[in-house]
Amino acid sequence: MPGQGQARDLPNTTTTVTGSTKAVNFKSPHLKNAVYSNEENDGGSQENNDGNNESNEHESDNHLSDTTDDDLVSTSNPFHCISTFLDHPRRPPHGLGSFLRPGSRYIGTQQSGRCTHEVEVEIKTIDPAAAIVSGYLRIQGLTQDHEILTTYFEGEIVSEKYSFFTRHADWGASEKTDLSHWSRFAPFRANQAQMRLKSYVHKDYLSQDQVYMRWKERFFVPDSNITAVEGASYAGFYYICFNQVSGNISGFYYHQRSEKYQQLELSHLPDSGNFYAIEFR
């Protein structure tokens, strides 16, 4: 082993001592984590965030993009500390526009034969990236024993992840029933030539006026253990067309043994931009 003062045969690493901490001078192309250490020390470089929206729209692919909250992830090695192991990366939920967010509420009706039932829907969670949504559906006067019945539903958004064709054998829908229901929505009919194709992939759904979904009720609320209520069933599912511009929702309930084309019509309850901050931990 070489003694003191002898030339090193591996490249001489430059060490700098800061307090009790030593840091090797790795030449980083972007020292993203500096924001975490001291708010006042590394400012001035982010001012360009104001403005020039158009150029920033496609920034997500840019390796050297500006520091954001998401960059706070890398403050420690991934092997570190299990109590904070799940903290990052965070996946903050952003609503689907102003009308489909956690806490968004809709009121309207469901037409069932000659009866019209008042319906209220409250969105509980939405994950636009995963194209899924969940919420409560309250229906009034469906049975005599239960004035209001509430179910929890989960929705899949027609997108690159979910096709117009229902891929759940246990939901009982065929391609024919899929198309017959989607075709009842006027905006679908306008573009149905391509949308009816099996190979069709519904891309960039967020930028389109209509968002198509399937809502499947899963269980009753508050008691999820109740499996049946006489006179009511959630065995089927809804084909949904949500208008992002107006906030209106149209839907048709489908179940093999239920009355066909029970229509759901809902309007967004104005909330003046009262949007809660919520993010699963």
Partner 1 sequence: MSLDDGLKSSNVSVQYTALKKLKNSIIGYEDVKLELVLTDLIPDLLNILAVGTEELQVESCVILASFASGNREVVSALLKYPVIPAVVRLFQPTAPNLHLPCLRVLCTLAKTNREFSVITQDSKLICTLSDILNYSSTPTLVVSYACSLICSLAFSKSSIRVLGGLAEPLTWQLHHLMRQYNKSSLSHIPLSVALLALAHIIPSQGAHSLLASRHHTSKPTGTIKNSLNGELFIDELLNLLRSDNAEIRLAAASLLASLQYYTTVPAQRDRLCNPLLPTLIPLLDESQNSVELFRVLAILCRDDIRLATLAVECDVIEKAAQVVFKADFRRWSNANVVAEALLLLAAIGLHQDSFRSIIIDKGVLKLVIKIMNLKVDRYHLMLRSDIKKVKVAACQVLRALSRSVNILRTSLTDVDIIDSIIDLLRQTPNKKINIDGVNSLANHESIGKSVKISSDQHEDDDEELDIKTSIMAAVCNLILDFSPLHTPIFEKGMIDLIIEDTYSSYSPLRLNSIWALTHAIYNIEAEQKVNILHKIGVRHLFELCYDQDIEIQEQALGFIRNFLCHHSLLHYLVDEVGADELFKLIEAKIKISKKHSYINILTSSIFILVHIATDEDHCNLIMQHQTILQMLVPLIVHSDPEVRTACVWLIINLTWTEVHGNAFKMQSLKSRAQVLVDLGFRRYLEERSRDLTLDVRERTKTALFQIDELMSL
Query: Where in 123-152 is the site for partner 1 (CB under 8 A)?
Result: 124-125, 130, 134, 136, 152
CA nearest neighbour of 182 among 152, 207, 212, 146: 212
- Rounded to whole angstroms, the Cα distance separating 115 from 241 reads 22
Q: For residue 277, state whether it binds partner 1 (rule: CB under 8 A).
A: yes
What x/- string results for residues 78 through 107 when contact with partner 1 is judged by CB under 8 A? xxxxxxxxxx-x--x-x--xxx---x----
- Rounded to whole angstroms, the Cα distance separating 101 from 95 reads 4
- Rounded to whole angstroms, the Cα distance separating 180 from 187 reads 14
Q: For residue 198, state whether it binds partner 1 (rule: CB under 8 A).
A: no
CA nearest neighbour of 127 among 153, 103, 157: 157
Nearer to partner 1, 103 or 187 (CB): 103
Nearer to partner 1, 24 or 193 (CB): 24
Q: Express the helix, strand and coil content of the chain in percent, nearest 5 each.
A: 15, 30, 55
Which of residues 107, 221, 229, 232 is near partner 1 by CB under 8 A? 221
Nearer to partner 1, 152 or 164 (CB): 152
**Closest approach of partner 1 to the CB of residue 259, in Å:** 28
- Rounded to whole angstroms, the Cα distance separating 253 from 137 reads 13
Q: Which of residues 44-73 bind partner 1 (CB under 8 A)?
A: 44, 46-47, 49-54, 56-57, 59, 63, 66-69, 72
Contact (Cβ atoms closer than 8 angstroms) between residue 95 and residue 275: yes
**Closest approach of partner 1 to the CB of residue 194, in Å:** 20
**Closest approach of partner 1 to the CB of residue 228, in Å:** 16
Site residue total, partner 1 (CB under 8 A) = 99
Paired with 148 in beta bridges are 140
Nearer to partner 1, 55 or 144 (CB): 55
Nearer to partner 1, 59 or 175 (CB): 59
Q: Which of residues 235-274 bind partner 1 (CB under 8 A)?
A: 244-245, 271-274
- Rounded to whole angstroms, the Cα distance separating 33 from 20 reads 19
Q: For residue 228, state whether it binds partner 1 (rule: CB under 8 A).
A: no
CB within 8 A of 12, min separation 6: which ones?
none
How crowded is residue 149: how many other Cβ atoms within 10 Å of its Cβ?
Answer: 22
Q: For residue 281, state whether it binds partner 1 (rule: CB under 8 A).
A: yes
Q: Which of residues 1-40 bind partner 1 (CB under 8 A)?
A: 1-4, 7-15, 17, 20-33, 35-36, 39
Nearer to partner 1, 83 or 144 (CB): 83
CA within 13 Å, CB half, 152: 13
